[in-house]
Amino acid sequence: MARTIETIAVIGGGTMGSGIAGLCAQSDKKVLLLEINRDAAENALDRIKNGRPPAIDSPEKVDRIEIGTIEQDIHKIDECDWICEAVSENLETKRVIMEKLEPLRKDGSIVSTNTSGIPLRAITEGMPERLKRDIAVTHFFNPVKVMRLLELVPGAETSPDVIASLSAFCRNTLGKGVVNAKDTVNFIGNRIGCYWMMMGLYRAGEALKNGLSMEDIDAQMSAPMGLPVTGLYGLIDLIGLDVMDLVGENLAANLPSGDLCMEYTKLPAPERAMLKRGQLGRKAGAGFYRVEKLKDGGRKTEVYDLIDQAWRNKNAVDIDKTHSVPSAMFIDDEQGHLAWEIMGGTLVYAAGLVPEIADDIVNIDRAMKWGYAWNWGPFEMLDEVGPTNVIEKLMQENHPLPKMLQVLKDFDSKSFYRNNGKEFLGLDGTYHATPEE
């Protein structure tokens, strides 16, 4: 039986917590927003009202949000149907919050954590059985108001009605695209997306030595591949090398043995040097790119050349040098090799993650489209480029076939989707009806 969600507590009022609180208030729900102290709570409310963009569209609905402090007001969660923890991405901090809230919440309430990659089992280890039954991961993407994706992750003991209730509420009330992930490190979007970035830095470094520029690499790893215009280096500038370093540490600690990503959990040497001197990305004023203000009021963009270890003017890219899907990964030049190494490598990685991170290819494809703004999910892109072409290339390179490509080959299937996407290939080698979004 579905549980009713009318009142929500959000613990943590940072970027994610304020975004979640604002979205719930915008959806006409009563919200209790708790922070470490009163100043932090006031700042969170200001962020909801005046952020860029504001977390709430209707200013009058801010009145639905009550703010308070964890120390003085956490007892008020006994009136809440859903308690969403959104504190900093630190295991011990999250465990402390769970220990505080568990004895105070009412029976039948739902608890969730907004962790972006810490396994739920680590958060709930040793916790009361009631909490383990009533908790899940609700991983919203930033900015909460804008990004469609919500990854919903049960624990080993999570009650099915908790998942059903959260799924219905987040989809129907909050307007999210819900994907069902498993309790594995980084879940779906960040597992594949971080592999693309971390592995991509290594492959891009090799391409730089072979004569491509950073501008060439970002141009190739963007629109021609159905990816956002930020490209590889531009996206990491947006995220920050410090965050990527922490992501790598989390992956190294939690990836299963033999995972292909284990080789790329440390930043390459040039990027480690940038990290050490504080050249983190946009938030530090400089990363791989920086924007300089000119005396005449104009601006110029500069690139940090990783080969020369010096700043230079950003050059325009000849778009004719880039290659587009579907042929990009099979063209025998530096851009084609780059496309195969980074994008092809990521598709191969994703094809080996069913059923580890999700039960089917649909959840993986939706996570990458809704969370990383890819035009196609990995399996949709494989269909675009021709999965049999990828299989042939892998076999030529004596590369073992990942699970889903092996399934496709064994059952003599030609694509992962058919009937205009209405059916998808399952692990059993048969086609199943694609669930509605």
Is the pLDDT higher at 51 or at 39? 39
Pairs from 302-305 (Cβ < 8 Å, separation ≥ 24): 303/213, 303/214, 303/215, 304/274, 304/279, 305/214
The architecture (CATH level 2) of 354-433 comes to: Orthogonal Bundle (1.10)
Range 94-116 average pLDDT: 98
Q: Nearest to residue 133, comparing CAs of 94, 163, 170, 169?
A: 163
Contact of 88 with 13, CB cutoff 8 Å: no
Spell 163-182 as b/e; 16+ CB within 10 A means b: bebbbebbbeebebbbbbbb
pLDDT bucket at 293, cuts 50 / 70 / 90: confident
What are the residue ranges of helices labelled H in 62-188?
Answer: 70-73, 91-101, 120-124, 129-134, 160-168
The whole-number pLDDT of residue 7 equals 99
The whole-number pLDDT of residue 252 equals 97
Q: Over the stretch 9-30, which tens digit does the pLDDT of each residue have?
A: 999 999 999 999 999 999 999 9
The whole-number pLDDT of residue 2 equals 82
Task: Sketch the domain layout of the chain as residue ranges.
Answer: 7-180, 189-321, 354-433
Q: Over the stretch 115-148, which tens digit does the pLDDT of each residue have?
A: 999 999 999 999 999 999 999 999 999 999 999 9
**Beta strand spans in 257-366 (E):** 289-293, 299-305, 310-313
The per-residue pLDDT of the chain, averaged, comes to 97
Range 182-190 average pLDDT: 97
The whole-number pLDDT of residue 52 equals 83
Do 189-321 and 354-433 fold alike per CATH?
Answer: yes
pLDDT at 1 exceeding the cut of 80: no
pLDDT at 95 exceeding the cut of 90: yes
Range 182-207 average pLDDT: 98
Amino acid at 147: M
**Beta strand spans in 36-76 (E):** 65-69
Instruction: Tell me the sheet residues that pair with 137.
Output: 113, 153
pLDDT at 54 exceeding the cut of 90: no
Range 340-349 average pLDDT: 98
Among positive and negative, which fits the CA dihedral 376, 381, 385, 386? negative
CA distance 390 to 402: 11
387 upstream amide cis, omega within 30 of 0: no
> Which CATH topology does 189-321 take?
N-(1-d-carboxylethyl)-l-norvaline Dehydrogenase; domain 2 (1.10.1040)
Q: Over the stretch 222-275, which tens digit does the pLDDT of each residue have?
A: 999 999 999 999 999 999 999 999 999 999 999 999 999 999 999 999 999 999
The burial of 108, by beta-carbon neighbours within 10 Å (0-12 exposed, 13-18 middle, 19 or more buried), is given as exposed
Domain 7-180, CATH homologous superfamily name and number: NAD(P)-binding Rossmann-like Domain (3.40.50.720)
Instruction: Tell me the sheet residues that pair with 281.
Output: 286
The three-class DSSP label of residue 179 is: strand
Contact of 342 with 381, CB cutoff 8 Å: no
pTM of the model: 0.96
pLDDT at 294 exceeding the cut of 90: no
pLDDT bucket at 298, cuts 50 / 70 / 90: confident
Among positive and negative, which fits the CA dihedral 358, 363, 366, 371? negative
The percent of residues in the chain predicted with pLDDT above 70, rounded, is 100
**DSSP count for the chain of H helices, then E strands:** 18, 14
